[in-house]
Amino acid sequence: MASAPAPHRRDRAVRAAVSQSLLSPDRPVAALLDTEGVRASAAALRAAFAAVTDAPVLHAFAVKASPLVPVLRLLYEEGLGAEVASPGELALARAAGVPPHLTVLDSPAKTVAELREALALGIAVNADNPQELARLDALVPAAAAPPPLGLRVNAQVGGGSIDAMSTATDTSKFGVGLRDPGARAWIVRAFLDRPWLTRLHTHSGSQGVPLARMAAGVRAVYELAEEINAAAGRRQVDTVDIGGGLPVNFASDEETPTYEAYARLLAAEVPGLFDGRYGLVTEFGRSLLARHGTVLARVEYTKTTGARPIAVTHAGVQVAARTVYAPGSWPLRIAVYDAEGRPKGGPAVDQDVAGPACFAGDLLAAARPLPLLEPGDVVAALDTGAYYFAHHYAYNSLVRPGVYGWTTRPDGSVRFATVRPPQSVAEIVAEAGGDLRDALVRE
């Protein structure tokens, strides 16, 4: 469990990262992951659902949020499985040792080969649409022991504050739109025709969707499960996968909303889903990891242009693509440290915290009031443990920074473990066809 308030622990880790040279003039960007914090979040998730139901619950971590094998392994050790949405994510989960029965395959674009592999491995699959169900119709009879199979439903309960994160709008690309004309009857029939279809899946959205709306989506799918089971005259739907989507507070160190609050809300709004008749699957991603990650970058230069102080750092679009391209939706907190990694004080001055990429919008923060930055200082982009540094964007061929998990020893000192080594320039060349130099100039 976290031993001290988050900011103090983080400050200690930044200081140690500088003194242990994870960050240096030659290696000016690095990412840190608070291992104890991740463990604490996983434990809080499990406890929150255990407090509201005795039913079996598989918490399948959404691998897309942090596709790093040691992270998946850590979460597996904490009792979580994996929700995967591509062959790559499945390979990562397998490399982490997550067993098939704790793995769930989603994604709206599964190929026949992916479906066949999932069936052979015994991995649960949520079909996205009628055409995918037709593919399963052809594959299931040949499967020795088909894994749990389900159908994704878009409850169409509405979106949230970020369009790109809203998966339960009328026209979202995921699942079968429950409120579309004729869809409900079609889904019930689809289950009656397929005795092996035993799950319903929904994920009403990620960051920006209000909890009440997510709960309404879960309720809609629960009511559908009841309807299917009544029509079937048996408990054909035995498990409901409620997806993930708990939003993260990017504005302060206060952890809100909590898993506990969401689980209680769900149990109050959809009591029948928690009375033990249904197994549950969850697919949380961002809420497990975001707050435990920090990007550190050295300030290379500072300048003033048009009266605006600008600090040019080594962290920008390559580690914070969402913030750079959609700053209004994804503002990040920035903490500042001096060259030794000590918290930096001083009067706040509005300044831009810029990245190294060659386009004007490459900013971690614009006109942000912070102590005036100087060359050699360290900026920390907070809450970047999910969908940020693990999702490198290769603009300007900037190297992927190293990722280091950290824990504190009883004496307060910080121990780092490499999660992902820093990429080398030679690797960039190799990945960019370095061995194929003459591919386009030969006959």
Interface positions with ligand PLP (CB under 6 A): 62, 64-65, 83, 106, 203, 206, 243-246, 283-287
CA angle 218, 224, 230 (to 5 degrees): 140
Q: Are strands 176-177 and 149-154 parallel, antiparallel or unpaired?
A: parallel
Bond into 257 cis (ω within 30): yes
Length of the chain measured in residues = 443
Contacts of 295 (CB under 8 A, 6+ apart): 29, 30, 31, 32, 315, 319, 320, 380, 381, 384, 388, 389, 401
Check residue 288 and give left, alpha or beta (phi > 0: left; psi -120 to 50: alpha).
alpha
Q: Using an 8 Å Cβ cutoff, are 67 and 389 in contact?
A: no
Instruction: Provide the annotated active-site residues.
Output: 358
Q: What is d(CA 64, CA 376) in angstroms, rounded to the nearest whole number?
A: 33
In whole angstroms, the minimum distance from the beta carbon of 290 to ligand PLP comes to 8
89 versus 283: smaller Cβ distance to ligand PLP: 283
Structure tokens at 70: 């040691």
Residue 254 identity (one-letter amino acid): E
Residue 216 DSSP SS3: helix
Task: Write the DSSP string, 342-372.
Answer: PBP-S-EEEEEEE-SSSSTT-EEEEEEEEEP
70 versus 244: smaller Cβ distance to ligand PLP: 244
Q: Using an 8 Å Cβ cutoff, are 313 and 300 in contact?
A: yes
CA-based max dimension of the chain: 73
Q: What is d(CA 414, CA 406) in angstroms, rounded to the nearest whole number?
A: 7
Task: Specify the DSSP class assigned to residue 437.
Answer: T
Count CB neighbours of 427 within 10 A. 14
Q: What is d(CA 324, CA 303) in angstroms, rounded to the nearest whole number?
A: 20
Distances in whole angstroms, Cα of residue 292 to Cα of each of 31, 118, 326, 385 = 10, 31, 22, 5
CA angle 267, 270, 273 (to 5 degrees): 85
Q: Give which of 395, 295, 381 is closest to 22, Cα–Cα.
A: 295
Residue 59 identity (one-letter amino acid): H
146 versus 245: smaller Cβ distance to ligand PLP: 245
